Each structure stands twice: as C-alpha cells, then as structure tokens.
Amino acid sequence: MVDSVLSHGAEVWGVQLAAKAACCHRGSAGSAAEKLQLSYLRHLLGVRQSTPNAALLAETGERAGCGGQPNSGTRRWRSVPAACCSKRCCPACSSQMAPTPWHSSPGLPSWAAGLAAVGMQLDLQQPAPVDLGELGEAAQRRQLAQLQEALAKGGASRLEHYVHNVVGALNLAPAMFGQRETYLDAVRRRQDREALAQLRTGSHWGAEETGRWTRRPREQRVCPHCHDGIEDAPHMLLTCPLYAPLRLNFPDLFAEPHPPHRFLRQKPCRLAAFAAACHQRWLTATVALPAVPP
Ligand SMILES: [Zn+2]
C-alpha cells in the first residue's frame, strides 16, 4: 500500500519536482522533496549531512530528482492519452467526469523541460514514446557531468576522495550511477554497513574529517595515534599501525597490496566487518589519548 501511494504521488507531482531538480547544479537539491530524499538516504547510510550528493547518489544508485520521478513521469506520459479516451467516474459522487485533453495536463511542460535538461527532447504537440532505457542513460550522463563540474571547481575534498580512493579516477563513467553498491544489500549488520559507508564517502571518524569542523588546514590533520600522515581513509585502512593487529584477523583482505579503490572492491561483508572493527579500535584508543589543548 505504501508503495502504491508513493508511486501515485510521484506520478502526480513528480513532473514538477523532476524539472526543478534538473535545473539545479552540482547535484544540489532542487526541491524540498529532493532535499528530504537526500537527507533520508544519508540517514540510511549513517553518514553526515555534509556528504556530497554525487557520492551519495552513486553509492545508493538513486537518481537526482527524487529517484523515480522521471520514470514515473514517463509512465504517466504513456497513460495520459489512454485515460483521456475513456470517461472516468468521480470517486466522491460516482458521476462521470469529462475527459481531459492529454496535452493540457498542467505538469507536462515542466516535465518536458526536465527531460530537455538531461538531453532528451519531447514534442508535446506530437507525442512519441519515451524510451526508459534511453532516459536512464541520459540521467547517468548528466550525473557524471555534474560530478566532473564539481571536481573542476576545486575545494570538493570529499568528492576527490570518492573519485580517487573509491571509484578510481580511470573508472569515471556514467555507469557508476544507477546501480546500488552491493554492500548496502549484502551487509546486514548496521554498524558494519555504516562504518564502511563512512570510510567510502569520507564522512568518517578520522582527523581528516573532524578537522573540517574546525577549519583546520588539511596538512595539520595528522593521525594522533602514529603521527605519520594525515588520518584519512586510506591511512586508516592500509597503513596506520593502530590497526595492525586487526589486519592480522583479516588476512584475506591483505593477501596482496592494493591501491585503495581496488582494496574497497573486495568482499563487502569482510570489508564492512574490518571497517567496524577499526572504528571500535579507534574509539578505544582515542579515549586513552592525552587531552589536546584547544
Ligand atoms: Zn595513524
């Protein structure tokens, strides 16, 4: 029942929301509904609200513009002419309602504008079927273009981490969007899944992230446990001696040296269990650290 209600709402209001989302830049939320969707996705992943939209959408396989809005709009586009050809009954009084001309539906121009923003032209006067596959590919290309635009502007350090350490700079392609990362389904233990999501998105517990809160220069966000490098995700996963005993418990993950983006492609349940163990180890070790003067 929930799905049918949500689907109906998406088909009624989705066209306007999709158009609004299509007009925004850098993957930022274009409507209150989209902000709510992105906030909810961050909550599901257990990452901070400052996590970049592009990384969030790539992880979850969702599309900008409230996920299925373009698809819902397309379904509505297909159903409108048929609905106009047959008389319908008012659900309140059961009297017959006059058919509405399909092309006068108020949301369709907005929806067509949304499609145009992703590179698909729609002639409202001469309806033609919209290919869902083509629409999905166009949306993926637009998401990639927004990510590259954000990278080119500079200052997006979390996004740079995601591209270089998680995706791999040479693997940037439209296909990185539109498919949910396997660990989100495979890892059932919430704290394991969240720890891995935090390391992947850069929204983790290390000094690289916490230093952002106090605007500390990146070069000063040194690991407080080994003082040998910035405490970012690759440092914690691969080199910090604080986690050396844990690595012995996961020999399958460390059988051969990997760059970060290849390391993170290993078995998701093992990676997530290791990430959660690292977080727990960090919590224990951090409590034992001497207080740092402000
Ligand atoms: Zn360290």
Domain-terminating residue out of 168, 194, 223: 168
Whether residue 175 is contained in a domain is answered as: no
The answer to whether residue 198 is domain-embedded is yes
CB 209 within 8 A of CB 176: no
Considering the domain architecture, whether residues 202 and 142 belong to the same structural domain is answered as no
The answer on 267 and 209 residing in a single domain is: yes
Ligand 1 centre distance from Cα of residue 237 (Å): 10
What's the one-letter identity of residue 236?
M
Burial of 284 per CB tally in 10 Å (0-12, 13-18, 19+): exposed
**Do both 149 and 210 map to the same domain?**
no
């209150």: which residue's tokens? 32
pLDDT for residue 70 is more than 70: no
CA of 232 to the centre of ligand 1 (A): 9
136-164: string of b/e by CB count within 10 Å (b at 16+)? bbbbbebbbebbeebbeeeebebbbbbbe
The greatest distance separating any two alpha carbons of the chain, rounded to the nearest whole angstrom, comes to 77
Whether the pLDDT of residue 203 is over 90: the answer is: yes
Q: Identify whether residues 225 and 81 lie together within a single domain.
A: no
248 Cα to the center of ligand 1, angstroms: 17
CA of 9 to the centre of ligand 1 (A): 49
Cβ–Cβ under 8 Å, residues 56 and 38: yes
- Indicate whether 44 and 20 sit together in one domain: yes
| Shared domain check, 214 and 163 | no
pLDDT band at 27 (very low <50, low <70, confident <90, very high): very low
CA of 238 to the centre of ligand 1 (A): 10
Is the confidence at residue 77, as pLDDT, over 50?
Answer: yes
Please provide the average confidence, as pLDDT, over all residues in the chain.
80
Q: What is the token pair recorded at 13?
A: 């209001």
Could you tell me if 10 and 59 lie in one domain? yes
Residues 193 and 158 in one domain: no
For residue 224, report the distance from its CA to the centre of ligand 1, in Å: 7
Task: Give yes or no for a contact between 60 and 184, defined as CB atoms under 8 angstroms apart.
Answer: yes
| pLDDT above 90 as % of the chain | 45
Domain tally, the chain? 2
* Judgement on whether residues 80 and 148 belong to the same structural domain of the protein: yes
Ligand 1 center–CA 209 separation, angstroms: 14
pLDDT at 227: 96
Q: Mark out the alpha helices in the chain (DSSP H runs).
A: 2-22, 32-45, 53-60, 69-85, 108-117, 132-153, 157-161, 183-186, 190-201, 207-213, 233-234, 244-249, 260-263, 268-287
Q: How far is the CA of 240 from the centre of ligand 1 (A)?
A: 4
Residue 122 lies in a domain: yes
Query: Quick one: pLDDT band at residue 188, thresholds 50, 70, 90?
Result: very high
Q: Model confidence over 204-256: pLDDT tens digits?
A: 999 999 999 999 999 999 999 999 999 999 999 999 999 999 999 999 999 98
Ligand 1 centre distance from Cα of residue 141 (Å): 38
How many angstroms does the Cα of residue 40 sit away from the middle of ligand 1?
32
pLDDT in tens, 163-184: 999 999 888 888 888 889 999 9
For residue 90, the model assigns a pLDDT of 42
94, part of any domain: no
Which residue range(s) make up the domain with 10?
2-89+105-168
Rounded distance, CA 38 to CA 166, Å? Answer: 20
Is residue 121 in a domain? yes
Residue 224, number of CB atoms within 10 A of its CB:
16
Measure 247 CA to ligand 1 centroid, in angstroms. 14
d(CA 236, ligand 1 centre) in Å: 6
Distance from Cα 182 to the centre of ligand 1, integer Å: 29
Q: Do 158 and 211 sit in the same domain of this protein?
A: no
Q: What is the pLDDT of residue 13?
A: 64
Q: Are strands 96-97 and 88-89 parallel, antiparallel or unpaired?
A: antiparallel
The pLDDT value recorded for residue 78 is: 53
Are residues 32 and 152 located together in one domain of the fold? yes
Distance 220 CA to ligand 1 centre (A): 13
**Domain's final residue, options 121, 138, 168:** 168
CA of 43 relative to ligand 1 center, distance in Å: 28
Q: Are residues 46 and 133 in the same domain?
A: yes
In a domain, 293, yes or no: no
Q: How many angstroms separate the alpha carbon of residue 230 from the centre of ligand 1?
A: 8
Residue 35 pLDDT > 70: yes
**Cα–ligand 1 centroid distance for 205 (angstroms):** 13
pLDDT in tens, 108-158: 676 677 677 767 777 777 767 777 778 888 888 888 888 888 888 888 899
In a domain, 292, yes or no: no
